[in-house]
């Protein structure tokens, strides 16, 4: 209490010079003060006058009644009148008044001027002059000519209001300035090259694609992605490519991840991590039974089948804890409490899998995490890894565990078969057919869905595809060929919408882990991508990557004519 008055006056100092000098005040502080020249800035709608809203807990009708006994109770509705009186007192406090307002906000979006300004213009009492943005010449090697405003601010202003042909130089100067201030000089790329790349991204984002079509910054690389093998590909890569090619490029090729902030983000037990624990535990149970792991299908010939049994509660708990700690550490999660939560999340899935598998005769396991490949008619090898391989009465049974929802919950087998065929045609569920086709005649590709729902019957959970079922293998080959051409031409476009739906978000958008590097929230860009994909062929001859992109866009979907 004793120090507070002193501190409040600590920043005060007398005004010197002729008259009162220059004072920078808020509108409230300037009430009752006269000036020779007044510059009133920030006259933007919803700023001055401010937005006046009633208090939801005490509406104005109650406040008006309270004022009879408590005159100091404010009435919110009178706020606009107070704003109008404040504005009138300010503009009349000087013989020369300059009113100013911005035309765009900090995000570059247009903003409206104040209603006070609009009224003065309508009444003819205001002369409006447009002040164009002036950008000083900048040198690409760094510092700009203005000692007051730093280069990065000029780059921002140039991006919002300036000429596009000067933006690249402004960005280069801004990057150089930042590096100079950080005293960091060892960079892989020169500021000019970085600015050129960023400017190319901007042009791609704003382009209409009417003549040239989308380019590499929109995912059409026109060549195989870096590291892509020209003769083989993993089936999981093609499945992710079918779901969203851009996501596959970012995650599998560029290996870009969304960094977590340890001070903000809590460790996330996402379904993918829980599923990894479930897979690891079931694989270890098969190995403990005596089945080989990480072998190839060709080396399983003659392996003696092993019976998969429940290991007992104590042993299962030990396996769960070990695998949960191992996988948590691989994700940078070191908290024992988080590993314990992971155990609790994974245990019901493992128990359900064991209950389903040991009912009746236990499976005859001959391998866990087994690698294989199928020779596709398009001329490439499609590689896969089966979670478990059993020896069945007619041939091998290759199982893929799924902790998510089943492909179909239809009551009739024909309905479930139809839904399964649709997923294969779209390329999003290829593993089962790949297992059956790669293991030879009589082989079965099997999905075991472990979603925790007592209403799901065994027929819904246990989905099998036989190698001799031609409709599945033919559909699989067609989808595989389209996806392979996409992969080889680099057609990695963002599936920002589902084809032919006029606005329905892509299937992967809701749970995408790399959405920060996608423009799906830009409605203009999203519609531009969909319009180009669904338009008729260009007047010119489309390139291979453009043909592959359009085929991939409509994969498994009915093309709208």
Look-up: residue for tokens 């089966």?
386
Higher pLDDT, 248 or 55: 248
Mean pLDDT of 436-459: 93
Which pLDDT tens digit goes with each residue over 158-175? 777 656 667 888 888 888
315-330 confidence digits (pLDDT tens): 999 999 999 999 888 8
Query: How confident is the model over 246-258, as pLDDT tens digits?
Result: 999 998 888 887 7
Question: Which residue bears the tokens 């098969």?
Answer: 286
CATH of 23-122, one of 3.40.50.720, 3.40.50.300, 3.30.70.1520, 3.10.20.740: 3.40.50.300
Q: Are 246 and 494 in contact (CB under 8 A)?
A: yes
| pLDDT attached to residue 24 | 85
Q: Is the pLDDT of residue 204 over 70?
A: yes
- Tell whether the model's pLDDT for residue 75 goes beyond 80: no
pLDDT at 25 over 50: yes
Distances (CA, A) of 285 to 216, 288, 294, 361: 46, 5, 14, 17
Cα(537)–Cα(241) distance, rounded to whole angstroms? 23
Dihedral sign computed on CA atoms, order 524, 526, 527, 528 = positive
* pLDDT at site 188: 67
DSSP tag of 297:
G
Confidence category of residue 66, pLDDT binned at 50, 70, 90: confident
Per cent of the chain over pLDDT 70 is 87
The pLDDT value given to residue 448: 96
Say if CB 353 and CB 282 are below 8 A apart: yes
The pLDDT value given to residue 150: 79
> pLDDT value at position 173?
86
Question: Higher-confidence residue: 421 or 9?
Answer: 421
Question: Mean pLDDT, to the nearest integer, of 81-107?
Answer: 83
CA angle, corner 515, sides to 510 and 521, nearest 5?
Answer: 80
Looking at 353-443, which runs of residues are DSSP E strands?
364-375, 381-391, 396-402
Task: Compare 11 and 294 and report the one with higher pLDDT.
Answer: 294
Nearest to 28 by CA among 86, 80, 82: 86
* Cβ burial, residue 210 (10 Å; 0-12/13-18/19+): exposed
Give CATH 3.90.320 domain extents, the chain.
Answer: 271-479
Lookup result for tokens 């590097």? 517
Exposed, middle or buried, 172 (CB in 10 Å: 0-12/13-18/19+)?
A: buried
Q: Which among 239, 480, 232 has a CA at the least distance from the CA of 380?
A: 232
Among residues 349, 295, 300, 297, the alpha carbon closest in space to that of 323 is found at 349
Domain with CATH 3.40.50.300 in the chain: 23-122
Mean per-residue pLDDT, 219-247? 90
Q: Which of 244, 300, 277, 242 is nearest to 401 (CA)?
A: 277
22-26, 52-56, 336-340, 502-506: least confident range: 52-56
Q: Concatenated DSSP letters for 511-556?
A: G-S-GGG--TT-HHHHHHHHHHHHSPPPSSPPPHHHHHHHHHHTTT
Task: Give the residue-averaged pLDDT of 85-108.
Answer: 83
24, 92 Cβ separation under 8 angstroms? no
Question: Lowest mean pLDDT: which of 177-186, 261-270, 281-290, 365-374?
Answer: 261-270
Whether residue 16 is predicted with pLDDT greater than 80 in this model: the reply is no
Q: Is the pLDDT of residue 206 over 90?
A: no
The CA distances from residue 450 to 238, 313, 367, 402, 457, in Å, are 23, 19, 20, 6, 11
Least confident of 75-89, 466-480, 487-501: 75-89
Confidence check: pLDDT of 143 > 50 = no
Q: Once rounded to an integer, what is the mean pLDDT over residues 200-225?
A: 80
Helix (H) / strand (E) element for 300: namely: none
State the number of CA atoms in the 13 A half-sphere of 392 facing the CB.
19
Mean pLDDT of 513-525: 86
- What is the C-alpha to C-alpha distance for residues 424 and 432, in angstroms, rounded to an integer? 9
Q: Which of 288-297, 372-381, 496-505 shows the lowest mean pLDDT across its residues?
A: 496-505
The Cα–Cα gap between 349 and 271 comes to: 12
Query: Which CATH topology does 271-479 take?
Result: Lambda Exonuclease; Chain A (3.90.320)
- Whether pLDDT at 213 is above 80: no
- The percent of the chain in helix, strand and coil, each rounded to the nearest 5, is 45, 15, 45
Mean per-residue pLDDT over the chain, rounded: 84
């Amino acid at each position: 209490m004793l120090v507070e008055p002193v501190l409040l006056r600590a920043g005060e100092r007398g005004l010197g010079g002729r008259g009162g000098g220059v004072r920078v005040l808020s509108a409230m502080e300037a009430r009752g003060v006269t000036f020779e020249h007044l510059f009133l800035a920030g006259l933007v709608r919803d700023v001055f006058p401010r937005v006046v809203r009633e208090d939801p807990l005490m509406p104005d009708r109650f406040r008006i009644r309270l004022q009879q006994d408590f005159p100091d109770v404010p009435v919110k509705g009178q706020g606009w009148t107070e704003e109008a009186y404040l504005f009138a007192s300010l503009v009349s406090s000087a013989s020369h008044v300059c009113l100013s307002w911005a035309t765009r906000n900090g995000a570059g979006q247009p903003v409206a001027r104040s209603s006070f300004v609009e009224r003065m213009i309508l009444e003819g009492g205001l002369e409006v002059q447009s002040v164009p943005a002036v950008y000083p010449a900048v040198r690409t090697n760094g510092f700009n000519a203005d000692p007051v405003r730093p280069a990065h601010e000029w780059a921002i202003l140039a991006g919002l209001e300036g000429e596009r042909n000067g933006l690249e130089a402004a960005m280069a100067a801004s990057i150089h300035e930042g590096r100079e201030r950080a005293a960091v000089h060892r960079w892989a790329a020169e500021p000019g090259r970085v600015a050129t790349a960023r400017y190319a991204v901007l042009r791609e984002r704003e382009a209409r694609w009417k003549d040239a079509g989308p380019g590499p910054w929109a995912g059409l690389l026109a060549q195989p992605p870096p590291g892509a093998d020209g003769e083989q590909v993993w089936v999981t890569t093609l499945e992710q490519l079918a779901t969203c090619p851009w996501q596959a490029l970012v995650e599998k090729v560029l290996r870009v991840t969304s960094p977590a902030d340890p001070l903000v983000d809590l460790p996330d037990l996402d379904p993918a991590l829980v599923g990894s624990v479930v897979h690891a535990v079931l694989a270890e149970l098969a190995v403990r039974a005596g089945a080989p792991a990480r072998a190839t299908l060709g080396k399983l010939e003659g392996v003696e089948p092993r019976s998969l049994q429940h290991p007992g509660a104590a042993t299962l708990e030990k396996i769960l804890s070990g695998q949960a700690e191992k996988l948590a550490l691989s994700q940078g999660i070191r908290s024992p409490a988080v590993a314990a939560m992971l155990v609790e999340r994974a245990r019901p899935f493992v128990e359900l899998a064991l209950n389903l598998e040991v009912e009746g005769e236990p499976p005859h396991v001959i391998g866990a995490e087994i690698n294989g490949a199928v020779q596709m008619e398009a001329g490439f090898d499609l590689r896969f890894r089966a979670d478990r391989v059993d020896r069945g009465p007619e041939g091998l049974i290759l199982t893929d565990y799924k902790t998510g929802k089943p492909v179909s919950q239809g009551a009739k087998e024909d309905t479930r078969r139809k839904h399964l065929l649709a997923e294969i045609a779209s390329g999003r569920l290829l593993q089962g057919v790949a297992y059956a086709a790669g293991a030879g005649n009589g082989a079965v590709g099997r999905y075991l869905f472990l979603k925790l729902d007592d209403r799901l019957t065994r027929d819904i959970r246990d989905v099998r595809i036989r190698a001799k079922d031609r409709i599945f293998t033919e559909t699989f080959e067609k989808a595989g060929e389209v996806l392979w051409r996409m992969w080889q031409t680099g057609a990695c476009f963002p599936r920002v919408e589902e084809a032919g739906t006029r606005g329905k978000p892509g299937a992967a958008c809701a749970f995408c882990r790399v959405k920060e590097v996608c423009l799906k929230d830009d409605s203009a860009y999203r519609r531009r991508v969909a319009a180009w994909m669904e338009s008729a062929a260009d007047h010119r001859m489309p390139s291979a990557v453009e043909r592959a992109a359009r085929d991939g866009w409509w994969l498994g979907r009915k093309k709208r004519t």
